[in-house]
Amino acid sequence: MKNRLRRYDTSVFFLFIAPWIIGFTLFFLIPFGTSVFYAFTDARLPGAVDYNFIGFSNFQEMLNNPTFGKSLLNTLYFVGVGVPVVTAGMLLLGLLLNMNVKGIALYRTFYYLPTLVPIVATVIIWRLVFNSEFGILNAGLSVFGIGKTDWLGSEGLIKPVIILLQVWISGSGVLIFLAALKNVPKHLYEAVRIDGASRLRAFFTITLPMISPSILFVVIIQTMYNFQMFTEALLLTKGGPNYAAYTFVYNIYKSAFTDLQFSMAMAQSIFLFAIISLVTFVLMKLSNRFVYYEGEK
């Protein structure tokens, strides 16, 4: 009797989670499974029926793709330079907005606003600000005697400009740091102040270790995001000038929708998935040495 009741309850459980099971199967398992399958074929179009198995050819050919190396290097720049810069920016803003002054809530609201701007609107705004002829930035800089800079048209500047854009819309990470900073117990600061430690020292010996779990979290999220950098680069300068902002996901997009080589695009997607998984795994492993969890021996 009890067993039957339990079995009945289990079926009710599956009824409740049925939407997720269907969604997970249809929108994750099936597409992911078929894409692993297609990556080893020469299918060119998404609905292709005639295709041959070609083993690892797509993966070999991917390396010969003329834009592959460039796109990988650019993506590594966004990860290697972009992630530390954006994370540091978020942390500095978090510290700034954690200051104990009247009206700070209003400041916080304003800092968060850019994060809620749709990305296309963000790009429109940045094109207006960074326009070399009529933009406000060059006009402002000229007051300090700095000459006209072609921000969006220079191969050397486009990646830093995109990273700056990421800092502008980094409100979510700032919120996470703010919450972490609020949770650092005040008595710890009082203890080192009695010892005569400076603010800077208190920051490195107390604040940083105490918020290290949040730093790890933000770094992982941002690393995953920057490995997938695409929309910003596409909308701002179409990956240019001269492929300077052309990223790995851009290359996937181009393989699929411009070159009409879907199987190649899938091979690249799998490659990207492997890299992201590997890097995330390494970050987690390394973090054991740096991240301090309170309440853990």
Partner 1 sequence: MSASTKRLFSQTGKYALLTVVLALFAGPLAWMLSTMLKTKAETYKAPPSLLPESLNFESFNRLFEVQPLMWRWIGNSFIISILVVIGVILSSSIVAYGFSRFSNKYKNRLFPIVLMTMMIPPSVMMIPSYVLFTKLHWVDTWLPLIVPAWLGGAYYIFLFRQFFMSIPHELDEATYLDGGNRWTVFSRVILPLSKPIVMTTVIFAFVNTWLDFLGPFLYIKNNEMFTLSVGLQLLIGQTSQDFPALAAGAFISIVPIGLLFLFAQRYIVEGVMLTGSKG
50-109 positions binding partner 1, by CB under 8 A: 93, 96, 99, 101, 104, 107, 109
Number of chain residues interacting with partner 1 (CB under 8 A): 83
Q: Which stretch binds partner 1 (CB under 8 A): 112-120, 153-161, 190-198, 201-209?
A: 112-120
Under the criterion CB under 8 A, does residue 227 sit at the interface with partner 1?
A: yes
224/280 Cα distance (integer angstroms): 8
Radius of gyration of the chain (CA): 24
Under the criterion CB under 8 A, does residue 142 sit at the interface with partner 1?
A: yes
DSSP state of 169: T
Under the criterion CB under 8 A, does residue 115 sit at the interface with partner 1?
A: yes
148/146 Cα distance (integer angstroms): 7
**H or E element in which residue 251 lies:** helix 248-257
DSSP output for 90-154? HHHHHHHHTS--TTHHHHHHHHHGGGGS-HHHHHHHHHHHH-TTT-HHHHHHHHTTPPP--TTT-
Residues 229-288 interacting with partner 1 (rule: CB under 8 A): 230-231, 235, 249, 252-253, 256, 262, 265-266, 269-270, 272-273, 276, 280
Which of 154, 175, 297 is closest to 236 using CA atoms?
154
Nearer to partner 1 by C-beta: 86 or 297?
A: 86
Under the criterion CB under 8 A, does residue 144 sit at the interface with partner 1?
A: no
Under the criterion CB under 8 A, does residue 205 sit at the interface with partner 1?
A: no
73/76 Cα distance (integer angstroms): 5
Q: Which stretch binds partner 1 (CB under 8 A): 6-14, 59-67, 79-87, 193-201?
A: 6-14
Residues 153-192 interacting with partner 1 (rule: CB under 8 A): 168, 172, 175-176, 179
Nearer to partner 1 by C-beta: 207 or 223?
A: 223
Residue with tokens 């083993």: 55
Among 5, 12, 194, 200, binds partner 1 (CB under 8 A): 12
